[in-house]
Amino acid sequence: MNVYVNGAEERIPSPLSVSDFLKEKEIVSRNVVVEYNGVILKSDEYGSTSLKESDRLEILRILGGG
């Protein structure tokens, strides 16, 4: 199955939740904001949101600093 992640097409296994996708990519979910098909997800929705063919994810990393 193909999805788009930050504008780039990526092949992933199906079924896969957003949470599982982040784990597979070794992305710490508490350090990112995920937009799913134009809608910002709450972190507690990552596990219940299943990726489908041609879905679009934008993953923004949160950086801290001073």
pTM: 0.90
d(CA 39, CA 63): 21
pLDDT in tens, the chain (66 residues): 999 999 999 999 888 999 999 999 999 998 999 999 999 999 999 999 999 999 999 999 988 776
Please tell me the predicted confidence (pLDDT) of residue 2: 97
CATH, domain range 2-61: 3.10.20.30
Give the strand order in the sheet containing 56-61: 8-11, 2-5, 56-61, 32-36, 39-40
Provide the 3-class DSSP secondary structure of residue 40: strand
Please tell me the predicted confidence (pLDDT) of residue 14: 84
